[in-house]
Amino acid sequence: MSLPAPKVQRSFADVVFAAGELFPAGDRYRVFREKVLPALRKARARLAGLYCADNGRPAVELVVMLGASVLQYLEKLPDRLAAAAVRLNLGWKYALDLEVDYKGFDPSSLCNFRKRLVKHEEERLAFDAILDGLREAGLVRRKVRQRLDSTHVLGLVSAMSRLDVVWQTLRGAVEALRKTAGALALESWGRLVEVYAETEPDWRGLKKAELAAKFQQAGRDAHGLLSWLDGQSSPLRELEAVALLRRVFAEQFEVGPDGPQRREAEPSGAVKNPHDPEAQWSTKDQDGKKAWVGYKAQIAETVPDDDEPKPKGEPTGQFLTDLTTTEAIASDLDGMGRSLKAQGEAGQEPPPELYVDAGYVTDDTLAQAKAEGRELIGPARPCPQKDGMLSADQFDVDLAARRATCPAGKASTQCSHIHDADQGSTYWRFEWGAQCDTCELRPRCTKSRTGRRILAVGEHHDLLQARRREMQTPQFQQRMHRRNAIEGTVSELVRLGLRRTRYRGLAKTRLHGYLVGAACNIGRWLRLEAWRRRSTQAQSG
């Protein structure tokens, strides 16, 4: 599609002329037109790079599409109702600065607009446009304290058994091959088409042994098809459905002397539904009770400079600086790194103070924050302790002096800096030698055959040790109150639709997250500006 010509002249049919008096100073649509729409217009040059200059049918005005997309998320509307709102809702027309008789566009235009954003890797364009507007309005600084937390995002797929995953993946590969090459010169091709492409499976009433037999048969069929494809032309081998089948087969089966055999356990990140291979299984606890299939979102929000209570009724003045969507199995440590990197690429400087929970605090992250001149403020996880034995936390470690003092008050006699090439780790090891032989705490200190304690700690254990001790102070506990509001922000984002993605695939889910984040920031901006205008009117009147 080609780039549409921007609107350069107003008409008396514009809603602002025809019905502007219907929208008072504090009305959300009026605030949107006066505050948010200019920020979206400044993103038009960036949007223009997604279209041809003069080739093809002219697209719908880019700012209208961008504004309709964020309004759609703000009011939680599907494409059809959003397109109808642009055509019929006077408030939307006023907010987007349209004419009263604007006829709108087909709902599929919103879908095509999102596809274009994903194709050009501009998923965060709307979010950045709003954030730039907030910076220009003086509501967000480029360097500001932040809080960070993560939440799960459910994929737009149903739960599947391992048998269903293999069967549906094999079905997709057979259908793709039949569409591409027709009938294949494979002895079992007719049966594969009949079983997997022309039959709907029904596992109801089957016993465990029968289900296991079905699984093994699917594995043999997949193995036979893939083996045959290995000797064929590359176009067939490179089909996306075939590549997915190869991945699923490797995750579910092992090939032995007797053919493919079921793996005891699936690897981390295995396909859970072939209709969205990027949606992964993850859990928040050890027993798997808080498990989901989908993605994970990292949410970064500004923190006020002071802890003074706000006037009653005043909306929050804090805004999101990032909402990064990652794979479900990505750790919070990895997510924090991606969030800070994304903010840096968008012009946001690293926060001088970042408030987090225990999932983000390790000796390495504390050391990295210190090296970069910022603070990572959050509780550290307790040191592991087994069977009432003395933990590493009960030793006083001074890495600068290369010395550790045990709970009995005895200083270490040997310190070693170990580089473990096999594990890819580096750590410090302290030993006390013969001092342990007569120590009265030895039964609680070590169960080694030698009866002597060896203490191994990370390279930055002193930072972790200091944080665990700091956690016990009232000052630290008071500082951590600044993180608490992120829980309310997560709740607000869930109400806007963050919990379940509307689309399939990581890139589209990332776009979904940024549109939810943009809607959250717009909603807060509208409420804050409306409150300020009402307060000004009350004071002047």
Q: Residue 526 falls within a domain, yes or no?
A: no
Range of the domain at 514: 140-157+283-380+471-521
Q: Residue 326 falls within a domain, yes or no?
A: yes
Write phi, then psi, for 461 (nearest 5 degrees).
-60, -30
Q: What's the CATH code of the domain at 371?
A: 3.30.420.10
What does the pLDDT read at residue 493? 97
User: What 8-state DSSP symbol labels residue 65?
Assistant: H
Q: Which residue has the tokens 């502007």?
A: 20
Beta strands in 193-263 (DSSP E): 253-256, 259-262
Per the DSSP assignment, residues forming a β-bridge with 404 are 397
Helix (H) or strand (E) holding 502: none
Q: Which residues contact residue 225 at a Cβ distance below 8 angstroms, ignoring those fewer than 6 apart?
A: 170, 173, 174, 186, 188, 192, 245
Q: Residue 220 falls within a domain, yes or no?
A: yes
Query: Mean pLDDT across the chain, nearest whole number?
Result: 91
DSSP sequence for 432-476: -GGGGTT-TTHHHH---TT---EEEEETTHHHHHHHHHHTTSHHH
Q: What is d(CA 490, CA 37) in angstroms, rounded to the nearest whole number?
A: 26
Q: What is d(CA 90, CA 143) in angstroms, rounded to the nearest whole number?
A: 39
The closest of 395, 173, 184, 161 to 270, measured between CA atoms, is 161
7, two tokens: 């609107």
Q: What is the mean pLDDT of residues 256-277?
A: 92
Is the sign of the CA dihedral 468, 473, 478, 481 positive or negative? positive
Q: Residue 201 falls within a domain, yes or no?
A: yes
Three-state secondary structure call for residue 156: coil
Are 363 and 458 in contact by the 8 Å Cβ rule? The answer is yes
Are 70 and 28 contained in the same domain? Answer: yes
For β-strands 291-302 and 280-283, DSSP reports them as antiparallel
Per the DSSP assignment, residues forming a β-bridge with 99 are 14
Beta strands in 96-221 (DSSP E): 146-154
The closest of 75, 65, 73, 42 to 117, measured between CA atoms, is 65
Are 166 and 309 contained in the same domain? Answer: no
Write phi, then psi, for 501 (nearest 5 degrees).
-70, 150
Reply yes or no on whether the pLDDT at 285 is more than 80. Answer: no
Q: What is d(CA 41, CA 62) in angstroms, rounded to the nearest whole number?
A: 9
What does the pLDDT read at residue 12? 67
Are 146 and 303 in contact by the 8 Å Cβ rule? The answer is yes
Are 508 and 424 contained in the same domain? Answer: no
Report the domain count for the chain.
4
| Position 314 confidence tier, pLDDT thresholds 50, 70, 90 | confident
Q: What is d(CA 443, CA 456) in angstroms, rounded to the nearest whole number?
A: 19
Beta strands in 252-374 (DSSP E): 253-256, 259-262, 280-283, 291-302, 320-327, 353-355
Q: What is the mean pLDDT of residues 415-421?
A: 87
Are 168 and 186 contained in the same domain? Answer: yes
Highest mean pLDDT pick, 235-249, 280-294, 372-386:
235-249
Residue 158: which region, alpha, beta or left (left: phi > 0; alpha: psi -120 to 50)? beta
Are 346 and 476 contained in the same domain? Answer: yes
Are 438 and 480 contained in the same domain? Answer: no
Are 413 and 440 contained in the same domain? Answer: yes
The closest of 250, 252, 247 to 264, measured between CA atoms, is 252
User: Of 462, 491, 506, which residue constitutes the final position of a domain?
Assistant: 462
Amino acid identity for residue 348 in this structure? Q
Region of poorest pLDDT, from 166-175, 314-323, 381-390, 432-441: 381-390
Q: Residue 271 falls within a domain, yes or no?
A: no
33, two tokens: 């037109």
For 20, other C-beta atoms within 10 Å of its C-beta total 12
Are 30 and 43 contained in the same domain? Answer: yes
Q: Which residue has the tokens 């507007």?
A: 133
Q: What is d(CA 65, CA 71) in angstroms, rounded to the nearest whole number?
A: 10
494, two tokens: 């869930």
Reply yes or no on whether the pLDDT at 462 is more than 70. Answer: yes
Write phi, then psi, for 463 (nearest 5 degrees).
-70, -40
Are 112 and 238 contained in the same domain? Answer: no
| Position 113 confidence tier, pLDDT thresholds 50, 70, 90 | very high
Q: What is d(CA 429, CA 419) in angstroms, rounded to the nearest whole number?
A: 11
Are 218 and 99 contained in the same domain? Answer: no
pLDDT, tens only, 147-183: 999 999 999 999 899 999 999 999 999 999 999 988 8
User: What 8-state DSSP symbol labels residue 33?
Assistant: I
pLDDT, tens only, 6-42: 776 677 677 877 787 888 888 899 999 999 999 999 9
Could you tell me which residue, 380 or 285, shows the higher pLDDT? 380
Are 167 and 258 contained in the same domain? Answer: yes
Q: Residue 218 falls within a domain, yes or no?
A: yes
Per the DSSP assignment, residues forming a β-bridge with 322 are 300
Q: What is the mean pLDDT of residues 47-70?
A: 88
Give Cα 142 to chain centroid, integer Å.
22
Are 476 and 373 contained in the same domain? Answer: yes
Q: Residue 538 falls within a domain, yes or no?
A: no
User: What 8-state DSSP symbol labels residue 413?
Assistant: S
pLDDT, tens only, 352-363: 999 999 999 999
User: Of 413, 436, 462, which residue constitutes the final position of a domain?
Assistant: 462
Could you tell me which residue, 87 or 310, shows the higher pLDDT? 87
What does the pLDDT read at residue 57? 78
For 110, other C-beta atoms within 10 Å of its C-beta total 21
| Longest CA span, the chain | 96
What does the pLDDT read at residue 9? 67
Q: What is d(CA 87, CA 93) in angstroms, rounded to the nearest whole number?
A: 8
Q: Residue 173 falls within a domain, yes or no?
A: yes
